Amino acid sequence: MSPLEILTFPEEFLRNPVRPVEQIDGVLQTVIDRMAETMYQAPGVGLAAIQVGLDKSLLVYDITSKENGRDLHVLINPRIIAQEGQIISENEGCLSVPDFRADVQRFAHILVEGLDRDGKPLRFEAEGFPAVVLQHEIDHLNGILFLDRISALKRQLYTRRVKKQLKHQGA
């Protein structure tokens, strides 16, 4: 299998809320495997289907270190149903927003519902770093980039830099 192409800002497709997954079949399992391969190769700790051009409510994540082995998690049609507390996600980054990191305000504790890769219902709590990763990836599924959660000034500076780079590449 080959990894998928990761869409990057300012790609407009990233701004679209995705559609729910309605069928869990062999095709979806292949998509999940390719998304996982793409995330690991990038390398990243999470990847939403929209980031690889798929209009599906699907994400993969793995917060274990490479040295401790892989622990892939798959969430289909995830949603946050409760959240509390505030933390600052320090130095948050994104595979779709290359070469930029920022502090982002996130909830400290969340309750998530969804389906696993076999379609079995999941309901679990996450806190700290796992909560940050899930909020980040679920934001993607709703058409929200972490850039939308930082100050307007920082967002403008990054946007200008990207537009300048794109202009030079096209020249």
**pTM here?**
0.93
- Cα–Cα distance between 17 and 20 in angstroms, integer? 10
Query: How do the pLDDT tens digits run along the chain, 171 residues long?
Result: 788 999 999 999 999 999 999 999 999 999 999 999 999 999 999 999 999 999 999 999 999 977 788 899 999 999 999 999 998 899 999 999 999 999 999 999 999 999 999 999 999 999 999 999 999 999 999 999 999 999 999 999 899 999 898 888 875
What CATH topology corresponds to 12-170? Peptide Deformylase (3.90.45)
Alpha-carbon distance of 3 to 102, in angstroms, equals 27
Question: Would you kindly state where each structural domain of the chain is located, as residue ranges?
Answer: 12-170
Q: Name the active-site residue from 84, 92, 125, 137.
A: 137
Active site residue 137: yes
Q: What 3 state SS string does the chain have?
A: CCCCCCCCCCCHHHHCCCCCCCCCCHHHHHHHHHHHHHHHHCCCCEEEHHHHCCCCCEEEECCCCHHHCCCCEEEEEEEEEEEEEEEEEEEEEECCEEEEEEEEEEEEEEEEEEECCCCCEEEEEEECHHHHHHHHHHHHHCCCCHHHHCCHHHHHHHHHHHHHHHHHHHC
